[in-house]
Amino acid sequence: MQFARDWVSWLHVSLALLMSRGLCVLICAAAPGIVATQDSPSNDKREGAVQTQMRNVTYHFSETMAVEIRSLNGELVPLGNNEFPIFDDKNSFNLRISTAEIAIDSSNLANVLNSYVFARPHSPLTGLSIVIEKGRLKVKGKLHDKGDIPFETEGILVPTADGKLRLHSEKIKAMHVPVKGLMDLFGMDLGGLIKEGKVPGVRVEEDDLILDLEQILPPPHIEGKVVSVRMEGEKIIQVFGGSNDKPVKNIRAGNYMAYKNNRLRFNKLVMNDADLILIDMDPGDPLDFYLEHYKEQVSAGYTKTTLDSGLRVFIKDFNKLPPAKGSPRSGKTK
């Protein structure tokens, strides 16, 4: 009986870590990452914020994982001692979203879990796969530390009233046995795990996990309120915004990332009254952007200046760059 209690407890902890850390990339969306509360900029820092607008951008976090920024309006807010955002320093600013629609597909989410979250040696979870069926997230894998016992879980994602994500687990199985029944039998819950602070940005309400997207992703951090979640085929779509948000006019046509107002450092250039737009050289598909390689993308393109000293940088898609020496591109998201 004690063995059964310990085994079920370990299983539930592992699944909680899987769902909370894995789903952190959903928003990951937003283009660069998400924010720790202690780093939230003070009100006076907003005076140095740079407005940003993004349209139809595939944003890479690695060569095998990316999210789709269909639309985004917000601002880069400087952090710490930085008076203005530094484009090359992902820790110098937060991305504060006012409105956005961001998508991630199930294969990219699985890539994050397998190649990043659970990539360390002796990871308790291996061979993870994710599919979306009838609006539900289905995760399958193996419990490595328990002799590669197969498990699967199924649940739905909905936003909370304060803009976080609620993961409601409807089914959990191990070795094809419903774990929920075992938890009911032994009175198991996730409260201990959450109260001990072992999963930052996650709290529990009965059988649900509440995910705080402002804490669980790496920098550059994003701030924003999720107002709705929906599934489209194998994609998870997150909508950010507020009740009083109004439609924002596009700065231009095509695929781009625009930065305006206040000061911004881009490479060696510091722009006062910033007016910088990164524009897709090939508008026939989304702008494929990877911050770690943006200089390569810029050098493969060309720039123009406007009559009022704005800078227009036409960049090449990351997935169309020639492979860098010693850097495999075969797993790159297309």
Q: Tell me how many helices (H) and strands (E) the chain has.
A: 5, 20
Pairing of strands 226-232, 264-266: unpaired
pTM exceeds 0.85, yes or no: no
CA atoms of 97 and 175, how far apart (whole Å):
42
Reported as a single tens digit per residue, the pLDDT across 147-164 is 677 877 788 888 888 888
**Residue 218 gets which letter from DSSP?**
P
Nearest to 264 by CA among 30, 32, 51: 51
Higher-pLDDT residue of 224, 222? 224
Residue type for position 278: L
Do 172 and 178 meet the contact criterion of CB atoms below 8 Å apart?
Answer: yes
Residues 280 and 263: their CA atoms lie apart, in Å, by 23
Burial of 213 (0-12, 13-18, 19+ CB in 10 A): buried
The predicted pLDDT at position 187 comes to 36
pLDDT 10s digits, 153-202: 788 888 888 888 777 777 777 766 665 533 332 233 434 434 444 444 55
As a whole number of angstroms, the distance between CA 275 and CA 88 comes to 17
25-42: pLDDT as tens digits: 443 333 343 333 334 444
Tokens 């601002």 correspond to 75
Query: In the predicted model, is pLDDT for residue 294 greater than 60?
Result: yes
Q: What is the pLDDT of residue 96?
A: 92
Helix axes 2-22, 179-186, angle to 10 degrees: 120
- Give the residue from 311, 219, 308 showing the smallest Cα distance to 270: 311
pLDDT given for residue 141 in this prediction: 81
